[in-house]
Structure 1
């Protein structure tokens, strides 16, 4: 808590140092700003100085101690001028100065103005004016309240309901490197010169770090942005440039760039950037499309792929939504430092370099897919999220789940030969099943009052919101049919454009589409979907071919655990069913109760039943033992009678059913017996993902040897397949075939296949001897680098580090950064861990993933765990939520835990750091404890049987 104006230590120092000169600059900036104003002229200022002091305490029942803004004021427009300094002051501090006016309507009579402001220091008294000719109420006192990040303005008299007012503030903030709000990113250009970029990341609650604002998604307004910046740099924002010229402010020559007013939008979608980047562009249907990046990246052609794919994806979404793109431009920019993968700022989308830049000679097939899908994800948001926005963060899943689903549709339009839509099963459905099967999972949509504080909001940006959201929306689209789904979506966007919604608004419009088309459903859209949205988890549906019964149960990895949350639906779902009998399709149906019966399920000799075709439903499937045996036989004798996606599904379902004790672990292992004849990517990837759990549990035990021998035996034919196909001098044509070639090389080398290890050692050695001529194909580099560094020592590691430091291709940096975590010498890994806390060595955006990569290495896991425990207070306090994903970090360093000793260490870590906190990782701590308990039980129950099976697989 604080009283009066709170000044951070660093900004306080700069204010003392700059002294009178800074004040003169700020006053000059204010003059520039006043010249820009063209709003209502009938304004009269209040007194400029508060006449009394704020209260010395802030009781919890005061409005400013509440996390949500009161609904008394409604912002209409902002006029913001910002001046970021790209050079440090004499103390080494980077700052920005700003002037902002917000015009708002008084909705309800009040004598209190609450507006968000975080880490900003006022340099002049706040002023309030009324648009209407009458004097505005005088300000009694003003304070910054740190806890809830408010500027609190108490008035001597009340504002009048229905009247329009304007609040004027002038402020200074630090252009820090914390990756949140208005921050700085640094890089070294091709000439070895350090460059500074001023850029933004507002989502979810950081617009308030750039200027005082009503920082909630429902508080939409129009924004007039002006940026002052160094001559020779370029300023970008959401709008197009409407005026640009040079002026002198306090003896300093600056460029003043003024942008067109935005559409009505939320604060979290704002962006403004100052850099020396250059761009490439093209125009499609009068729409300007530009890709910005470092000069070296653009000049080497790394922006071409993104530029070529943006137009087709935009056109696809215009058709899909039946709504024209609502802006005159689409800018996309690759930033050297960016915590998220990308951010959908309206008209100025920001990306990590690896998510936008593609070098055809260095980047892999996976890099290309990532760029296509992320561009599609962010462009999908330009309508769904930006044009129509959720009212509050408890419905984040609707924004992110929808974009995570339709990104596959957009990418499929851009790359129709990839067959990419199928990959949602591996990337999202199977991925989120692992989290949603925990008793500590959470529903897609929570009550608004459960998501209040910034750290609670950050915690909602998780796998459930993205991947489960995508999975259930895909299921909804499938059982409604895509035309009905799209029709409902189109009327939803048209009805709510430029406003805010709750998720049930979408259900209403989908129901309208159902009713209009005459499509029949057993329940309303809302009745069906509320069971998937308002309760956590998912069912396992059991098909009994002996009795014809179909049953559902809440699937939990630990069946003895109790869900953390009660469910009004008693953990029962309305389940859309699809199934086939020995390859013959059966009509779709519904499971509306706990148990149902269908005599058509009963099978005769040599028949089998396969359910959840292409995994369109968000549920796991179990069968009676006889049907399982017949499916396993079909996999080994006629696997192509089972669709590729379902071959992957059978493996994933079986392994997870075995984890939960529903079927035997040996039955699950039998689903891998057919792999020596399999060449398709999806079954192999599913198997390797699930066998990875066995490695995590057993790679420190006597079981490791037999397991390696079995996996090596299965992968050898796949390695030979790609040897015959490509001789390892090229890559196959198919998109997923290229992925499976990587799997073949990675697993063959990791299991000690001599032909493989010799191949990668020779490649890496050739590269070390001639670093300007890398003989390794881009697709294979991550695997080759990792294998060579694991087999090598300091010389190989130092070579990789030297290349890492000098390369200017972000995808190459990423591959090397991950590969260096494959080292097996503890001192190399410990040295690498220390680098993660030095932003000059490992960028803050990459610190979390680097530590997780080290923890994924059996030699590095205990080192990473010790490192995180020893440095938790520093990590938490210095890095904050902007640069570390605490949820991913905690899960990443504890996923191997499977002993009572490790469980006690984890509990002690939680208890010892309770006073420090875990931020967005709070739920992850509980999930890690739950997962460790489940691992302990599973290992105790299965170790002997698994060891015997790997010795004699059958």
Structure 2
């Protein structure tokens, strides 16, 4: 779409009138629906067409390809939709609609391909659509139309070609079903004050706009959208833009509301959004220009659960305006929370949709973690207003240009909104370490691939992964640090200004960064493009090894399993241009560019007592290994005065060492030794990093004889931290002031109860018993609820379990309900876990959106692991029908994380073979999981006895 394309005021008025005319048509269509339904029934299997599906035979045709041809470009859509919030006589929730799309023919063609899925069309003279020529252009006659699977097209074949440069209008009328599958135009159900309510809403990303209306459903096919919704009295209709004054319309004696909306900005189809609901809202103004509203269930709004989001959304939006030096282009920004929502949130321009726990916050029951989630999610979605909405990646192979940016900037926006939280450091724990865990596998994938490798909807869905989000953020953080944040910000401003309302590829970004770098006079050893292409076009990341005896530096592709088969070729031969930051004893930070497989820097050669530390504050996306002598000096420094090492680098030393040990590059006992200083550590970040790695040992060892000594060792480490917070909080009666201290207090209690520190279980069960005595008054600190609930249920029996189950069923705050749901999986009673698993088959007990979480939570319980595994296999057909094969593949991975025996491996392999015909051959989840299990098996064989001996010896030396 060309820059500066706008609909004139006169045309806008015409379009609004046309929208009203479309509404009249849709009402007529809806009245005729009863007769039409008998000809083309809707079902959960998808609608049938109103004429037989016939596809011309012969060689490969354009409609056999998943990508649209480049012959047509949409200009604007005009659609009217009427969703029914009550079932019809067949117990179906349907919507009726009509839509017209005005498009320009840019290359002569006799074929119109437009996406359509699960829509049931009314016919015009036997055809699915009508065609008009505009501005005097004659419209060719339609030869034939049909619906094409699996490419999901409405195919319109013409008797003569469209003329290049001419504009045409394609009109359709259709019926669809509001499924409850959280995709496309769907229904969300909830109960409020004992009354069942239905909401109609959308989730179009990535390829489901076509299920709501026929459209050119590719991100580069940007257009303007004119939307009208017809809805029941007592409900409100929302869309991307502000509405005009609603009017009443009468259909068969029923008075309905018709709401039309201002035209949207030029945007991609996946950003189209609308909702019909009876929600309440809070509102405020940002700089007297932009209306900010937070919508949710009326009861949630009345209880004030939307106030925190309302307080933070405006300042975050203003922060991004300043950072990018680019105005938010809409007059309003609605944030709306739904009880049923498949994603965490969705960045629809002007109408951002969330699941409730990601937007609503109740200070009386919600924890700091809940608050982080809300402000972080809002920040992520509002960052998309520029990266994704204003400027959009050309195709899904470069989704990281949307999601990597939004993830990185979510931490900057959240840090601005809540500066005391130290969010810029939390990105290391939340994104970078997690991305490295996946990117160190031979089955990983690059940030950017070729367009032709991502074509089917399944391929596109697969791009929404931890590499896209978290590695994308990590690489951008590294780049910002490399060129300075000031230059980075200026480059982004130029990029946004040149490509607003358009689509880009990554080379467009590199060009503007290079321009900003050159203007600032920053010297780089290669161009921005040459440096960064090595980080985005090849999978994985480097391990930098520094020999402090000689100053020799080497790099290699880091793999957790050196025997992994890396099947993806790399034009760069898995070699990176690496900006190594480093310090040595008493020195200032320095930088060295490693531009080849090996190099030498004599400044890195140290004396006998000096130590060297590389990758300061983990700015670079790489791991570091050292010669044995430098490891010993770093361990000695941690032992003697750990504060001399920056807090993020204490995280790095622990996480690098444990991963190097898994890769058999250092001894596992070296990794364990990086944790021995923790009995003196009180900062949250190092403790959290250590907890994750030590808990991985728990997961692998909890069915072996090593688990006893493992618990004894961690018990001795955490006891001083438990006592520290007991003293700091005046025997647990005072709440720490620093947010990170509140987080670490929770971490201390969790580990203390898990390992049997004296007084911990008595503390948590005591709090829980007091609550059981008086259920109306819950005095447990919101930040400790998850731990207290889990600990008490683990120590208790059916009475505690049933008590929390009752609380879960009656919870009105979604974040509190989530804590109850997770805690129920902590029981040590197998029969209760089995009962809980069976509840997942009954949507009256466990709602569809929560079933997956319950199964995964139970599998995380050592007693529940094989119960969950058996349940998955026994109920595979039902579960895949409910959740879909793609989503279910990730569950298999989460479920089998702790498998570590040949028997486990063979069971999963057999299961894979049993269901192979049902699975997408491109789905790599099973291979990924099998690879991890194989690594677990190898690790156990090499390390179990070694770890056991070390734990026994070290625990005997620790005096607490």
Q: Is residue 733 from structure 1 mapped to residue 749 from structure 2 by the alignment? A: no
Matched residue SS, 1:600 = helix
Q: Give the unaligned 5+ runs of structure 1.
A: 1-22, 33-49
Over 3 Å counting, the alpha-carbon distance change for 1:481 and 1:211 in structure 2 is same
Offset, 1:59:
5.2
What is the aligned partner in structure 2 of residue 941 from structure 1? Answer: 942
- Candidates 901, 910, 913, aligned match of 1:911: 913
2-side partners of 1:365 and 1:878: how far apart?
Answer: 33
What is the aligned partner in structure 2 of residue 167 from structure 1? Answer: 170
- Candidates 899, 903, 910, aligned match of 1:901: 903
Matched residue SS, 1:184 = strand
Q: Does the aligned pair in 2 maintain the 1:475–1:616 contact within 8 Å?
A: yes
Over 3 Å counting, the alpha-carbon distance change for 1:513 and 1:806 in structure 2 is same
Moved over 4 A (4+): 23-27, 29-32, 50-60
2-side partners of 1:578 and 1:730: how far apart?
Answer: 41
Offset, 1:57:
5.5
What is the aligned partner in structure 2 of residue 68 from structure 1? Answer: 67
2-side partners of 1:502 and 1:566: how far apart?
Answer: 22
Offset, 1:797:
1.3
Matched residue SS, 2:916 = coil
1-side partners of 2:328 and 2:246: how far apart?
Answer: 26
- Candidates 475, 484, 487, aligned match of 1:484: 487
What is the aligned partner in structure 2 of residue 673 from structure 1? Answer: 676
Offset, 1:562:
2.2
Matched residue SS, 2:593 = strand
Over 3 Å counting, the alpha-carbon distance change for 1:589 and 1:98 in structure 2 is same
134-143 or 325-334, larger mean C-alpha shift: 134-143
- Candidates 656, 661, 666, aligned match of 1:663: 666
What is the aligned partner in structure 2 of residue 212 from structure 1? Answer: 214
Q: Does the aligned pair in 2 maintain the 1:848–1:885 contact within 8 Å?
A: no
Tell me which of the two structures has the higher relative contact order, counting C-alpha pairs closer than 8 angstroms and 6 or more residues apart: 1
Residues 314-371 of structure 1 show CA distances to partners (whole Å, capped at 9, x for unaligned) of: 1110001101111000100011000111000000000011110000000000010111
Q: Is residue 605 from structure 1 mapped to residue 604 from structure 2 by the alignment? A: no
Q: Is residue 716 from structure 1 mapped to residue 719 from structure 2 by the alignment? A: yes
What is the aligned partner in structure 2 of residue 768 from structure 1? Answer: 772
What is the aligned partner in structure 2 of residue 843 from structure 1? Answer: 847
Matched residue SS, 2:918 = coil
What is the aligned partner in structure 2 of residue 372 from structure 1? Answer: 375
Offset, 1:601:
1.0
Matches of residues 439-838 of structure 1 in structure 2 within 5 Å? 439-726=442-729, 727-838=731-842
Matched residue SS, 1:301 = coil
Q: Does the aligned pair in 2 maintain the 1:849–1:889 contact within 8 Å?
A: no
1-side partners of 2:825 and 2:51: how far apart?
Answer: 59
Q: Give the unaligned 5+ runs of structure 2.
A: 1-22, 33-48
Considering only aligned residues, what root-mean-square deviation do their CA atoms show, in Å? 1.8
- Candidates 252, 255, 262, aligned match of 1:253: 255
Matched residue SS, 2:881 = helix
2-side partners of 1:67 and 1:284: how far apart?
Answer: 42
Residues 477-518 of structure 1 show CA distances to partners (whole Å, capped at 9, x for unaligned) of: 001110111111100000000000011110110001011111
Matched residue SS, 2:875 = helix
Offset, 1:98:
0.7
Residues 6-50 of structure 1 show CA distances to partners (whole Å, capped at 9, x for unaligned) of: xxxxxxxxxxxxxxxxx9995525899xxxxxxxxxxxxxxxxx9
Offset, 1:877:
2.9
Residues 642-662 of structure 1 show CA distances to partners (whole Å, capped at 9, x for unaligned) of: 000000110000000000000
Q: Does the aligned pair in 2 maintain the 1:444–1:534 contact within 8 Å?
A: yes
Matched residue SS, 1:102 = strand
Q: Is residue 873 from structure 1 mapped to residue 874 from structure 2 by the alignment? A: no
Q: Does the aligned pair in 2 maintain the 1:549–1:596 contact within 8 Å?
A: yes
Over 3 Å counting, the alpha-carbon distance change for 1:773 and 1:108 in structure 2 is same
Residues 599-637 of structure 1 show CA distances to partners (whole Å, capped at 9, x for unaligned) of: 111111321001100000000000000100110010010
1-side partners of 2:589 and 2:605: how far apart?
Answer: 13
Over 3 Å counting, the alpha-carbon distance change for 1:202 and 1:139 in structure 2 is same
Over 3 Å counting, the alpha-carbon distance change for 1:56 and 1:518 in structure 2 is closer
Offset, 1:92:
1.6
1-side partners of 2:474 and 2:666: how far apart?
Answer: 25
- Candidates 324, 330, 354, aligned match of 1:321: 324
Q: Does the aligned pair in 2 maintain the 1:873–1:916 contact within 8 Å?
A: no
Offset, 1:852:
1.2
Matched residue SS, 1:70 = coil
Q: Does the aligned pair in 2 maintain the 1:579–1:610 contact within 8 Å?
A: yes
Over 3 Å counting, the alpha-carbon distance change for 1:497 and 1:805 in structure 2 is same
Q: Does the aligned pair in 2 maintain the 1:679–1:718 contact within 8 Å?
A: yes
Over 3 Å counting, the alpha-carbon distance change for 1:849 and 1:57 in structure 2 is farther
2-side partners of 1:932 and 1:918: how far apart?
Answer: 21
What is the aligned partner in structure 2 of residue 114 from structure 1? Answer: 113
Offset, 1:887:
4.3
- Candidates 263, 266, 270, aligned match of 2:265: 263
What is the aligned partner in structure 2 of residue 129 from structure 1? Answer: 132
Q: Is residue 198 from structure 1 mapped to residue 197 from structure 2 by the alignment? A: no
What is the aligned partner in structure 1 of residue 409 from structure 2? Answer: 406
Q: Does the aligned pair in 2 maintain the 1:394–1:460 contact within 8 Å?
A: yes
What is the aligned partner in structure 1 of residue 45 from structure 2? Answer: none
2-side partners of 1:494 and 1:930: how far apart?
Answer: 45
405-414 or 857-866, larger mean C-alpha shift: 857-866
Q: Is residue 343 from structure 1 mapped to residue 346 from structure 2 by the alignment? A: yes
1-side partners of 2:239 and 2:421: how far apart?
Answer: 34
